[in-house]
Every structure is written in structure tokens, then in C-alpha cells.
Amino acid sequence: MKIDTHLHVLLPDQFSYPWTETFAPLQGRFSLEDYQAASAECGIAGSLFMEVDVAPEHSENEAAFFCKLAEDPANGLLGVIAGGRPENDDFPDYLDTIAHPNLKGIRRILHMAPDEVSQSEIFRQNIRELGKRRLPFDLCVRPDQIALTLDLIDACPDTQFILDHCGNPDVAGGDHVSWAIGLKQLAERQNLAVKISGIPAACPPGEANADTLRPWVETTITTFGWDRMLWGGDWPVCTLNGTLSSWCEALDEILSTETPENRLNLYAENAKRVYTL
């Protein structure tokens, strides 16, 4: 059984995605029905919708729309990780507005934002507010932002963080050493978990297979341990270099010699705890 903690759904007829204007492969509609078809053979028992960096004025509606969808078990959504702007003074009011039993976390894309965004005191104050509300914060950062990320985590010791996409290593470029050093520094923070997700799209074209992915996955496992890892499909981004099924098959192959308990922790149990499912 798998819980997919990183599902994107793009509905351009309802929401605006400015970043896709220069990213043709993800222009167009990627619906929940499309995902259900793509994941039918993957053993996925439920998924978390992950915000898709909509235009800021659409964040509230995106959160409300998917929290409502999650009310129907037939949709297979276990909850929503909504977008938000912690750098804004009115962020606590925004959290009040989008509050819902199916709201399970918040993410602010940082790897595309100026570095100073996460360094302001209002940003850190608002991330601490998430801790008070028992809402985790998903971190999407680049390897060169490790120092900034460490500063943020250290400033918010009572907030649960999740590092998306194994910290976004340059798999195609092969820079394993410096990424692994940064990952080890991050793992020293006990309020940080890591999400094994996103890395198929970072592989050389056509090489998102078990052999290519193995050293990155195994280093992540060794660094964080089985109690602080989650899995995410990152559909439809994963389709840039394969399919959701091929990603699941590659990871299953890498984990084939691990104990059932370890695989269950990675695929489901840790997600239940971290996101309070």
C-alpha cells in the first residue's frame, strides 16, 4: 500500500499557473481523473494534493476546491497541502480563511523565489505559527540554498518540515558528493522529514530507472533513516521522464531487499504521522 504525498492537479480553466507560460510540457489540463488512470496499477491507496504554485490571488480558491474534493472518499484524496505566502503580514488570516479538516500542510515554493524571502522575521514568525497549528511546511529548495534552509529550520524548532524531492539533487549532472554533504547537515534537524519524490525528472532523459536512481535513494535512506521518509509520485511532473508506473516500479526494485516494515514506513506510515492523516 502506498500513500502518494505529492500529487499535482492542473486545471487551467479554473486556476492560473503563470510558471507554465514558459514550460510547455505542463501546459494544459492534468485532471484528477487522468491521475487515477495513471496510478491504477501502482498500489496507491490515497493521495495528498500538493499546491501547484497558482497565481497568489487563486491560492485560497485552490485550497478550498481541493479540500472540498477530499470530502468525497471516491476521489481518493486524503488531504491538501495548500499554497501560501508566509512572507505576508496577513498570513495568519489566510490560514484562518482556508482552515478545513482536510488541510494537512502548507508549501511556499522557495527554489524559484529570491533567497531573502525565507530570511525575513515575518516569514519565520509565520512558519512558527504553522507549528502552533500543527500544520507542517513543505520545503522545495535547491542544494545551494542549504545554509538558508538550515537557518529557517533552526528558527522554527516546533514546526514540522518536509524536504521535497530529496533536496532537488542534480541527478543528470552527477553532483552526488556536495548534495550528500548538504543532505547530512539537514538530517541533523530532527523536525525535518524528507520526501523521496521528484528525482525521476532530474535524471538524464530516458534514464529514470532503478540503476540511475539507486545511489540517490540509498543515500537519502542512509542519511534520514526509515522513520523520517515519505514517498511522493510528483505526477504529472514525473511524466517528463517516464510514467508514474515506471517511477513506482523503479523504486520498488530499489527497495526489494528491504523489510516489509521499512517499506511500509516509507510508503504509508510516516505520511500518516507527519501529515496527521
Q: What is the pTM of this model?
A: 0.96
Task: Classify 114 in phi/psi space as left (phi over 0), alpha (psi -120 to 50) or beta.
Answer: beta
Give all strands of the β-sheet with 2-7 in edge-to-edge order: 2-7, 44-50, 77-83, 103-109, 137-140, 161-163, 192-196, 229-231
| E-assigned strand segments in the chain | 2-7, 44-50, 77-83, 103-109, 137-140, 161-163, 192-196, 229-231
d(CA 4, CA 109): 19
- Identify whether the C-beta of residue 255 lies closer than 8 Å to the C-beta of residue 226: no
Q: How far is CA 39 from CA 1, 43, 81, in A?
A: 12, 8, 20
pLDDT in tens, 12-39: 999 999 999 988 999 999 999 999 999 9
- The DSSP symbol for 172 reads T
Which CATH number covers residue 182?
Answer: 3.20.20.140
Domain that holds residue 213: 2-274
pLDDT tens, N- to C-terminus, the chain (277 residues): 899 999 999 999 999 999 999 889 999 999 999 999 999 999 999 999 999 999 999 999 999 999 999 999 999 999 999 999 999 999 999 999 999 999 999 999 998 788 888 999 999 999 999 999 999 999 999 999 999 999 999 999 999 999 999 999 999 999 999 999 999 999 999 999 999 999 999 999 999 999 999 999 999 999 999 999 999 999 999 999 999 999 999 999 999 999 999 999 999 999 999 999 9
My answer on whether omega of the bond before 73 falls inside 30° of 0, hence cis, is no
Q: Where would I find the H helices in 105-258?
A: 121-132, 146-155, 176-187, 210-224, 244-254
Task: Give the count of domains, the chain.
Answer: 1
d(CA 17, CA 27): 9
pLDDT in tens, 125-139: 999 999 999 999 999
